[in-house]
Amino acid sequence: MKKQIQRFVQACDICQRQKYVATTPGRLLQSLPVPSQIWEDVSKDFITGLPKSKGYEAVMVVVDRLSKYAHFIPLKHPYSAKTLADVFVKEVIRLHGVPISIVSDRDPIFVSKCTIFMDSVVVDSDKGNEADHSFLEESTHILDGVELQEPYVGMEFDSEEAARKFYAEYARRVGFVVRVMQRRRSGIDGRTLARRLGCNKQGFSPNSKGTLGKEKRPRPSAREGCMATILVKMEKSGKWVVTRFIKDHNHPLTATANGFRTEDDKDKKIAELTMELERQDELCAAYREKLLSFINNIEEQTEEMSTRVQLIIENIRRAESEMQKSSQKVYN
């Protein structure tokens, strides 16, 4: 019966002319919200059909939607969701951290599989760290006689600000600096739904030498690829809950309660800052004198130039009057 209906519809002239769409009509396109931080929201697309070069014949383009900075990653056919997740972690997450959202025009099944593999890659590398802190009991340390509470998965806060203050105080006592990394906002009212904080040494800043321009003096790297991070999300109850916490750092920490090991270190730091402030004041005074002398030179040159221009104008007028007199004599 199904084949008969298909043959009838194919042979019917009216059925072939009157085509209609049975799906719900699409709504108006809505623009994506503007990210508030770089590498918080990225877009991912693929360029295929390219001529093969050294085995590569496709390019994965990852663009930061705020700064428009892009990574062009070559790929080899055939590639799967797992290989794309591995490449994404190696080329993007390693440098900029885990983005909150990824915009892609691929089908939902492909995107979901890629996301699952990506999460597994990130979680597997941190599984040993998270397993120690997944319990809901309160874990504390004693540091210089001061009780230090350590974050754990499931810990609740009344607000995002309270969570940030708690982690900043924890970082100050443990011995690292907090970096505000990513935020996920609601597409309806723009509220913050999740916030990720981490160590300021996360990622890498290699001293790569450019091919154009002068050679730059190599500077010490400020980041060392540290994976220490905390992720807090707002639940339906309004509470902010820690959903991920990575404790271990790959760099030495200075565990202090007030930011300085001893009072002498504090006085020494104050003296260094005072000397630096005095030096900057001297530099500002020297720059001010140079700027004033430069302005005076410009004013003198401007006056001299205006005098010369005035003389040139008078000479031109005198020459024109003489030419007019000579032409009148010729006609007379």
Most confidently modeled of 55-69, 162-176, 221-235, 272-286? 55-69
Kindly state whether residues 153 and 254 are assigned to the same domain. yes
150-165 core/surface letters (b: 16 or more CB in 10 A; e: else): ebbbebebeebeebbe
Does the CA dihedral 120-124-129-134 come out positive or negative? positive
- Is residue 17 one of the residues assigned to a domain? no
Does 108 lie in the same domain as 72? yes
State whether 144 and 253 are in the same domain.
yes
Helices (H), 135-209: 160-174
Is 216 part of a structural domain of the chain? Answer: no
Question: What's the CATH number where 41 sits?
Answer: 3.30.420.10
DSSP H or E run through 148: strand 146-149
- Does residue 150 sit in the same domain as residue 91? no
**Are 185 and 90 found together in one domain?**
no
- Name which of 23-32, 57-66, 85-94, 172-181 the model is least confident about: 23-32
Residue 27 has pLDDT above 60, yes or no: yes
On whether residue 268 sits in a domain, the answer given is no
- pTM > 0.75: yes or no: no
Q: Which of 30-44, 113-127, 256-270 has the least mean pLDDT?
A: 113-127
Q: What's the pLDDT score for residue 263?
A: 56
Q: Is the pLDDT of residue 254 over 50?
A: yes
**Per-residue confidence band for 110, with pLDDT thresholds at 50, 70 and 90:** low
Question: Is 2 inside any structural domain?
Answer: no
Specify whether 255 is located in the same domain as 288.
no
Average pLDDT over residues 31-58: 87
Whole-angstrom Cα distance, residue 202 to residue 250? 10
Q: Count Cα neighbours of 59 within 13 Å in the Cβ-side half-sphere.
A: 12
Token pair of 298 as six digits: 């410009």
Count of the separate structural domains present in the chain: 3
Residues 57 and 107 in one domain: yes
Do 125 and 188 fall into the same domain? no
238/147 same-domain check = yes
Alpha carbons 235 and 245: distance in angstroms, whole number: 17
* Three-state secondary-structure class, residue 108: helix
Give the C-alpha separation, 198 to 183, whole Å: 12
Tokens 């902010």 belong to residue: 240
CA pair distance 145, 266, nearest whole angstrom: 19
Q: Identify the DSSP state of 236.
A: T
Statement to judge: residues 284 and 311 lie in one domain? yes
Domain boundary among 84, 106, 131: 131
- Cα–Cα distance for residue pair 266/255, rounded to 1 Å: 15
220: CB partners within 8 A, 6+ apart: none
Residue 74 has a pLDDT of 92
Average pLDDT for the chain: 76
For 161, the domain range is: 140-204+222-259
Q: Does one domain contain both 122 and 144?
A: no
Is the separation of the CB atoms in 20 and 80 below 8 Å?
no
pLDDT confidence of residue 193: 86
Average of per-residue pLDDT across 77-87: 82
How does residue 215 score in pLDDT terms, banded at 50, 70 and 90? Answer: low
